[in-house]
Amino acid sequence: MDDIRGPNPVTMGATSGDRGRYMLLRIVEVAMEDEILTDEESAILDVIASVMGLEPLDVQDSLAIANGSMSSPHNDDDIRAHNRRHLGDMALYQNVLITALDDEVITEDEMAMLDVLRRVLQLQSDEHAMMVEQIRLLASRSEGSERLTERMERYLVLHPFA
């Protein structure tokens, strides 16, 4: 069966599934638990895809896998390998957190997506605290950053690292 993506898109990606696609899929699954993909969730998915060098097609494929219309390419060995820490994990999470803070409210769906990303990345509380300090420092050096700092403080009160 052919479609606009080429012949027989049975599984996502050309290989057995790389880590970026695996992480994207895990987060898409959480985002789609309520069967609605909000603009905020879509923005987070776009950031994750961009930071990991993935294509918009990878987001579409993850959505197809999450809704059951496509098979997952990830086997047990892939999943074990993908769940190990990698260089750049903290930067990825920081970018996603800043994107979530960019609007006025971090929704429950966004929080769930951040929680999944924290678990997949095995982020520890001290690492999270260090990242929050980095965001505060970046915000203090940016013009008009008071709003970001306020949202960060609200986020930390409403969603402390657990």
Enter the pTM of the model: 0.63
Residue 84 has pLDDT above 90, yes or no: no
Q: Is residue 2 part of a domain?
A: no
In a domain, 88, yes or no: yes
Q: Which residues contact 152 (CB under 8 A, 6 or more apart)?
A: 101, 132, 135, 136, 139
Quote the pLDDT of residue 63. 92
Please, what is the angle between helix 108-121 and helix 19-31, to 10°? Answer: 150
86-126: pLDDT as tens digits: 777 888 888 878 877 776 667 777 777 777 788 778 888 88
Using 50, 70 and 90 to split pLDDT, how confident is the model at 130?
confident
Q: Are 38 and 107 in contact (CB under 8 A)?
A: yes
> Domain total for the chain?
1
Q: What is the pLDDT of residues 8-45, one digit of tens each?
A: 333 333 333 487 888 888 888 888 888 888 887 887 78
Q: Look up the domain containing 37 and give its range.
A: 7-158
Please give the share of the chain, as a percent, with pLDDT higher than 90: 6
Q: Is residue 1 part of a domain?
A: no
Domain assignment present for 114? yes
Crossing angle of helices 19-31 and 56-66, in 10° steps, is: 50
SS3 38: coil
